[in-house]
Amino acid sequence: GGVEMRDAETLLSAAAGRTCVVALCQPDRTQSLLDAAAETMAAARAAGIPVDPVTIRQREAHEDEWRDVWKQFFRATRVGRRFTVRPSWDPTEVPAGEFVIDLDPGMAFGTGAHPSTRLVITLAEQLCEERPRLDRVLDLGCGSGILSIVAARLWPLASGLAVDNDLQATICAKENLERNHVVSFDV
CA angle 70, 74, 80 (to 5 degrees): 140
3-state SS, residue 76: coil
How far apart (Å, rounded) are the C-alpha atoms in residues 187 and 145?
A: 9
Report the candidate in 180, 76, 185, 83 with the shortest Cα–Cα distance to residue 128.
83
Q: Which residues contact 173 (CB under 8 A, 6 or more apart)?
A: 108, 139, 142, 143, 144, 145, 148, 162, 164, 187
Amino acid identity, position 27: P
Q: Which residues contact 117 (CB under 8 A, 6 or more apart)?
A: 79, 110, 111, 146, 147
Radius of gyration in angstroms for the set of CA atoms belonging to the chain, rounded to a whole number:
20
* pTM exceeds 0.85, yes or no: no
Tens digit of each residue's pLDDT, the chain (187 residues): 566 777 777 766 778 888 888 787 788 888 998 898 899 889 989 999 888 888 888 887 766 665 555 555 567 888 889 999 888 777 788 888 889 898 876 655 666 777 888 899 999 999 999 999 999 999 999 988 999 999 999 999 999 999 999 888 899 999 999 999 999 988 8
